[in-house]
Amino acid sequence: MDGRELIRTRLTDLDRMAYERGILRCSGFLSYAEQSEYHQMDRSGMFRTSVHFLDGGYEDAERAAAFFLPDYMEREDAAASEIAAIKASAVNDRFADELTHRDYLGALMNLGIERDCIGDILTEGSSCFFFCSMEMADYITENLLRVKHTSVRCSKADRNALNIRQELEELQVNVASERIDAVIAALYRISRQKAAQLIEAEHVFINGIAVTSAGKQMKEGDRISVRGHGKFIYDGVGGSSRKGRLYVSLRRFV
């Protein structure tokens, strides 16, 4: 069974248990590729539960868990019961390294924690916020004591009190058309061929679903993620040149 079949089987089982037993079922944190399978199954009407959704702890989270709810449960209660927010900060800022996403992820993996128990990791200097499964929260706060060469302390944070807003940079790029390969090539300054290769490798996602055609036409409001490059929101055509090229507006996450 390949990875695609495995995640579909897993999601089907979670949905079935929630529907038949009337209990909350939740996956671990899913990658973009795994979320794409969820979206395709949802569009095909494959889920039996009336309430199901993705949640990563905050808006626009890259890694998110799939929730399948019984009819009596509210979305907010379900997400709050399964996802914990953790704040980690240096014990002494004077002797702290500037720690990266990779540093924190490596330290968490060294505790023997599975990757799907950890959601997004948002770093700033030596400190960070990250999301994890609720069942791992106490273990992490008690055992994550050092990241790289820096001593850290961890505490649970109130998800509702967090004000995580990712900074967006407004841009306008000149393209031949609204094709996804043309927009990606212009934004990230790569060739159309390289953009097409990223699409062929299923590294490009529009609204959570993997793109399979380099000729896919963009629509205003589309949210695009390009693995290894970043993500952006497409805001449509803002004008055209005398030669018929288009000026398209984007908001890139920075």
Q: How many domains does the chain have?
A: 3
Location of structure tokens 């290894």: 228
Question: How remote is the C-alpha of 34 from its chain's centroid?
Answer: 10
One domain, residues 9 and 66: yes
One domain, residues 152 and 93: yes
One domain, residues 151 and 211: no
One domain, residues 88 and 156: yes
Say what the pLDDT of residue 243 is.
Answer: 87
Name the domain boundary from 134, 161, 188.
161
One domain, residues 59 and 113: no
pTM for the model: 0.86
What CATH number corresponds to the domain at position 183? 3.10.290.10
What CATH number corresponds to the domain at position 46? 3.30.1370
- Domain containing 28 equals 3-81
How far is Cα 140 from Cα 119, in angstroms, rounded to an integer?
Answer: 13
Q: Are 51 and 22 in contact (CB under 8 A)?
A: no
Name the domain boundary from 57, 81, 105.
81
Per-10-residue mean pLDDT of the chain, 254 residues long, equals: 89 97 97 94 96 93 96 92 95 89 96 96 89 97 95 90 81 95 96 96 93 95 94 94 92 92
One domain, residues 174 and 156: no
DSSP letter assigned to residue 149: T
- Tokens representing 59 are 């808006």
Strand order, beta sheet including 25-30? 25-30, 64-69, 51-55
Name the domain boundary from 161, 196, 214.
161
Say what the pLDDT of residue 159 is.
Answer: 79
One domain, residues 55 and 43: yes
Angle between helices 180-188 and 192-200 (to 10 degrees): 120
Strand segments (E) across 91-193:
118-124, 127-133, 146-147, 150-157, 168-175
How far is Cα 5 from Cα 8, in angstroms, rounded to an integer?
Answer: 5
Say what the pLDDT of residue 1 is.
Answer: 61
What CATH number corresponds to the domain at position 97? 3.30.70.330
Helix (H, G, I), strand (E, B) or coil at 253: strand
Q: Which residues contact 185 (CB under 8 A, 6 or more apart)?
A: 191, 192, 194, 195
One domain, residues 93 and 145: yes
Q: Are 105 and 131 in contact (CB under 8 A)?
A: no
One domain, residues 201 and 234: yes
Q: Are 223 and 47 in contact (CB under 8 A)?
A: no
- Considering only CA atoms, which of 217, 249, 224 is closest in space to residue 236? 249
One domain, residues 188 and 155: no
One domain, residues 174 and 240: yes
Say what the pLDDT of residue 152 is.
Answer: 95
